[in-house]
Every structure is written in C-alpha cells, then in structure tokens.
Amino acid sequence: MPIGLGQGLVRLLQFSGILSSDSSNKLQLAYWESLVREYFTPKVLMKFTLWKDNQRDEEKPFEIGVPILPRFFLMTTQSGVKSMTRVPHSS
C-alpha cells in the first residue's frame, strides 16, 4: 500500500462515521459548513450519480464543489436520506 493511502482511508472512515451518527446539529447549515471545511480541500469536486428506480439507463450525473457541499448535505438530511454508498470510480 503506498504511503499516505491509509491516511486517506482513515479520514474517509471518520467522515462516514460522522454521517451515520445521530445528531440534531445535522439540521443546521453551520454544522455542515464546519464539517466540509474539516474534511474537504477548497477545490474538491464531489461527483455522484442518481438513478431512477435503480435503472442504469436512467442515470443523471452531478458534480458539485465546496461552496455547495454544505447545503447539499443539509438538504439530503432534511429530505430524509438515510443511506449513501461510495462506489469506486472507474476511468
């Protein structure tokens, strides 16, 4: 395993643990702004895809940057999203 790869995995697991915790702060934009500052670099792009009823032929890819990430996490929480799955990126 290359040097540094383990550190990234540890941070990803820490972030995942925070996302899965029950906290009333998750309904506050300031909570998500702080979390994004702690876990994301300023120029990061989060890429994700939404599917309609798990049908791969009806996919909609998105890319959002740091300025939008706190609101994205807040809105998904307020909308009742309970699960997100990280799928390895394929080139």
Q: Specify which of 1-5, 20-24, 72-76 reaches the highest per-range mean pLDDT.
A: 72-76
Give me the helix-helix angle, 29-39 and 69-78, nearest 10°: 130
Residues facing residue 45 across a β-bridge: 65
pTM reported for the whole predicted model: 0.75
Which of 15-19, 22-26, 61-65 has maximum average pLDDT?
61-65
Q: What is the pLDDT of residues 46-59, one digit of tens each?
A: 888 877 776 667 78
Q: Which 3 state secondary structure label does DSSP give 42?
A: coil
Domain spans of the chain, in order of start: 23-78
